[in-house]
Structure 1
């Protein structure tokens, strides 16, 4: 028992850093539960300010899995599973290459990559560009591959697939559910590769476990906000918040 307590003690951050990390996870989780995406987009850059990007990426991936399990009963029947399985195999193949980038890039290079991926996602959503419900198979594979590469390197599987799911879904609720499940699955796949390669450390996962209550609370609050406000306001709110986070991360990467 004492050995287990020692492991958790060694993984713990100073109180102020624990509070900041919990706040980052809560904010990102509430955003994701509200709009169906944005957990990694918001969580990685915010969490990286406390623990660094190399630890933030696997932490967010692990939390994606926990969040998916918590929300599974609510979203599994609404999600477009055909759309998910069309792109998931390509993401599975590309994820190890993203993990390689996570291993070889320095912290500031990772922050820059994270900021650019986030700004790309915001630009795509703000452009009003629409992807038709049916796209050629090579396009679907390309979307999945790009998503897997970003999932491995930044935990941000979202930018390539946001318009894909929004274009295929008949309702905002279906798009939200599909993205929720896809990000949980890619998180599980990518984290598995991270463990197999030895990049993910036990102390990082123990820290994630200690901070997980912030995620579970955020899922409840975010889901309540989605159903309370309807589906008319979620996009501009998400765009505004993600833009601020992207610019802050970019400034941090450049100034360092």
Structure 2
């Protein structure tokens, strides 16, 4: 019973975060789900519940999606994904995660200090390419996209909507890949089913939170989540090396 209560609390917090920002479910949920489940089970629950949230919200936010940018990011991801798989097979993943963690933390600090770049078509494809690499190598698609959106000063509506639309694409591919290559378990689907009422509460609360977040506070939340993702990778890498 205690384990189930902890599980529900993790899912509720992560659902509110994902609904109010368009990202953050995996950053918040995965490290804690790993304390309760195997890596494969935690990853699959994360993907399934993220998809539930994204599909639930996408019709409501569809008018805020930057379709041109989304198409370029998706194309870049498709091209980048095989390179990520190659890196995973050839490079020491722990060292790679450590380098990514340091880079992510450094770029987040630059963003906090008002670092910005100009959006270009080439950079749109490029961030998708990097996101594709991240997805298949370290299982974290979001940080490159968030860094790019924040550094190009996108508004919160566009960031949330385009992120949710992108996650539908990337998580569907990831889930199909997981089910085909690694299989699944009854526990994954049972716990995902148990979590649905909690996700619904998170959707309602998250929508309220989103309406109250002004642009400046929204960006501060982006920086906090990026920093958390960097710290999570850093801790994982150091822990594995010890």
Return 5+ residue gaps in structure 2 as ranges.
none
Query: Is the aligned partner of 1:197 residue 2:181?
Result: yes
Query: Is the aligned partner of 1:186 residue 2:170?
Result: yes
Aligned residues: 237
Please list the CA deviations of residues 106-145 of structure 1 after superposition, one character each: whole Å capped at 9, or x if unmatched.
xx959x94x8756754543442233322232xx4444223
Please list the CA deviations of residues 147-192 of structure 1 after superposition, one character each: whole Å capped at 9, or x if unmatched.
1232245442111111333456752211221112112221111111
Superposition deviation, residue 77 in structure 1: 1.2
CA contact (8 A) 1:40 1:155 kept: no
Superposition deviation, residue 82 in structure 1: 1.2
Question: Structure 1 155/62 Cα, relative in aligned 2: closer, same or farther at 3 Å?
Answer: farther
Query: Is the aligned partner of 1:162 residue 2:146?
Result: yes
Distance 1:40 1:118 in 2: 16
Superposition deviation, residue 218 in structure 1: 1.2
Question: Structure 1 231/24 Cα, relative in aligned 2: closer, same or farther at 3 Å?
Answer: same
Distance 2:227 2:188 in 1: 28
TM-score relative to the length of structure 2: 0.79
CA contact (8 A) 2:44 2:175 kept: yes
CA contact (8 A) 1:58 1:191 kept: yes
Question: Structure 1 120/39 Cα, relative in aligned 2: closer, same or farther at 3 Å?
Answer: farther
Query: Is the aligned partner of 1:84 residue 2:67?
Result: no
Distance 2:230 2:75 in 1: 29
Equivalent of residue 127 in structure 1, options 107, 110, 113: 110
Distance 1:210 1:227 in 2: 28
Structure 1 residues 217-226 or 228-237, which shifts more?
Answer: 228-237
Question: Structure 1 132/246 Cα, relative in aligned 2: closer, same or farther at 3 Å?
Answer: closer
Equivalent of residue 26 in structure 2, options 40, 52, 59: 40
**Which residue in the other structure is 1:221 paired with?**
205
Equivalent of residue 173 in structure 1, options 141, 154, 157: 157
Superposition deviation, residue 208 in structure 1: 1.9
TM-score relative to the length of structure 1: 0.75
Return 5+ residue gaps in structure 1 as ranges.
1-14
Superposition deviation, residue 227 in structure 1: 0.6
